Amino acid sequence: MRSTLIPAMTILSLALVACSGVDIQQQGVDKFSAGNYRYYTWRTEPLPANTYSSDPVYTIDPVIRREVDADLQSKGYVLDKSRAQFSVDYLYVSGMQQGERSELASNITPYPRVTPNRQVNQAVVDNAIALGGVKETNNIILQFNDLESNQEVWQATLSKVVEDANNIDASRLDQNLQEYLERALEPLPPAGQ
């Protein structure tokens, strides 16, 4: 019994680590690869660091720039504004996402039906309430544009459901963004020669 418990707990732990809660959607890298890029620049200047704003974009701007620069430079790209072949930009936007409806819900109510003479399954009702309805999301859209043609050559979108908008932990945000951006930029090819 004990010998099967340890592997089962290990598999469960790995499965939970793999579920990050962030949806990352990337475009194909064909257009980007065809450009055979080596030099890049940021499309916009960094946000001022001495601004005392509660807007999260002031917290994430330096993290996004640092992590994207580190990842691109590890692939051989060079940040050089004068010789740049493509530009990097990002958008930070809030959005809304429709939640999932329970299979037991009807077209009249989003909550599971109650069958007469049966006990209500409270777990099903709780899941329907938690997963149903509209959810607020925070989205980061990374965009790479060819500077000669002014056309987008690659894009990645990172979306996360907002769990507590009033509690922003900067250290956790930094660590999470590092991991998510690394995953988002993973399919990019090494720099051209």
Residue 164 Cα distances to 72, 94, 104, 189, angstroms: 32, 13, 28, 36
Rounded to two decimals, the pTM is: 0.69
- 4 three-state secondary structure: helix
Q: Would you give per-residue pLDDT tens digits along the chain (193 residues)?
A: 455 544 444 343 333 334 457 888 888 999 999 999 999 999 999 988 777 777 778 888 898 999 999 999 999 999 999 999 999 999 988 776 665 555 555 555 555 555 555 666 677 666 666 666 666 778 889 999 999 999 999 999 988 866 655 555 566 667 788 888 999 999 999 987 5
Gap between the Cα atoms of 150 and 35, Å rounded? 13
In which element (H, E) is residue 175 found? helix 170-185
- pLDDT of 13 reads 36
